[in-house]
Amino acid sequence: MVKINLLIDGGNMKPGPAVAQQLGPMGINMGKVISDVNEATTEFKGMKVPVEIDVDEKTKEFTIHTSSPPTSELLKKELEIEKGSDKHAEVKVGNASIEDVIKIAKIKMGNMLDRDLKAAVKSVLGTSASVGILVENVNPNNLIAEVNEGKFDNEINEGKTETDPEKRQKLKDHFQSIKSEQDAKAAVAAKEAADAEAAKEEAAKEAAPAEGAAPAAEAAPAADAKK
């Protein structure tokens, strides 16, 4: 039995060099593999999905095992975010509800070492912080202690995954105010960088000889020392 591990676009696996190099030499029906993988991952369209294909080299039969997408992918999908923040401590890209976190924790529990939903929620909160996503308007790392203290026990015990529309709008409004501040700071930083570059170029021009001017005369060689 040969195991092949791939990371594919959910519901959109296509034939390509990477797939052909691994599956082609085994003589299995590649079209069938792609069709079965797409069917198994269709609910995760738009996300990267880990897939393991077990191939029996003798019979050419195969079995497909899929895992849920990485937590970061599920968060981005849930909040309709293209990518996380490269500077998560400074730049935020979204604002999730605790219900969003619980929803993703329930999806991920089968692939996590965490044995209960509360532990899975804390794991998702940690990932949220690492990609620059706020939860309930605050840094998710700060909420982990509150989860330990039981603040969201009702929501977690009920497995609540739906966010009230009014609450959702308030979360969006709060994030929009933060984003406006971030954009303003970024604009100031960009202008300062542009001004510094312009000043550097101007200084370089002033230090250079004027066009058409003769180069400075070289210093005359020192007189020979008397013998």
> Are 13 and 88 contained in the same domain?
no
Q: How many domains does the chain have?
A: 2
pTM: 0.71
Assess whether 21 and 85 both reside in one domain: no
Does one domain contain both 41 and 103? no
Same domain flag for 85 and 177: yes
**Same-domain pairing of 7 and 59:** yes
The proportion of the chain whose per-residue pLDDT surpasses 90, expressed as a percent, equals 46
Torsion-angle region of residue 191: left (phi > 0), alpha (psi -120 to 50) or beta? alpha
Residue 205: pLDDT band (50, 70, 90) is confident
Say if residue 52 is in the same domain as residue 77. Answer: no
Q: Which CATH number characterizes residue 173's domain? A: 1.10.10.250
The encoded tokens of residue 30 equal 């590649």
Q: With contact defined as beta carbons under 8 Å apart, do 106 and 116 qualify?
A: no
Say how far apart CA 71 and CA 103 lie, in whole Å: 11
Confidence of residue 173 (pLDDT cuts 50, 70, 90): very high
b/e sequence 109-138, b meaning 16+ C-beta within 10 Å: beeeebeeebebbbbbbebbbbbbbbbbee
Q: Is 186 domain-assigned?
A: no
The pairing of beta strand 133-135 with beta strand 94-96: parallel
- Based on the domain organization, do 53 and 79 belong to the same domain? no
Report the CATH number that the domain containing residue 38 is assigned in CATH: 3.30.1550.10
Of the spans 43-52, 126-135, 217-226, which averages the highest pLDDT?
126-135
130 pLDDT band (50/70/90 cuts)?
A: very high
Q: Residue 39 domain-assigned?
A: yes
Nearest-angstrom CA–CA distance, 14 and 29? 14
- The verdict on residue 188 lying in a domain is no
The Cβ of residue 7 has, within 10 Å, a number of other Cβ atoms equal to 12
User: For residue range 24-35, what is the model confidence (pLDDT) as tens digits?
Assistant: 777 788 888 889
CA–CA separation, 142 and 103 (whole Å): 20
Considering the domain boundaries, does residue 20 fall inside one? yes
Residues 59, 78 within the same domain: no
Residues 175 and 83 placed together within one structural domain of the fold:
yes
Q: Residues 50, 100: one domain?
A: no
The domain boundary residue, chosen from 46, 66, 86: 66
Asked, for residue 100, whether it belongs to a domain, the answer is yes
Q: Which domain holds residue 19?
A: 2-66
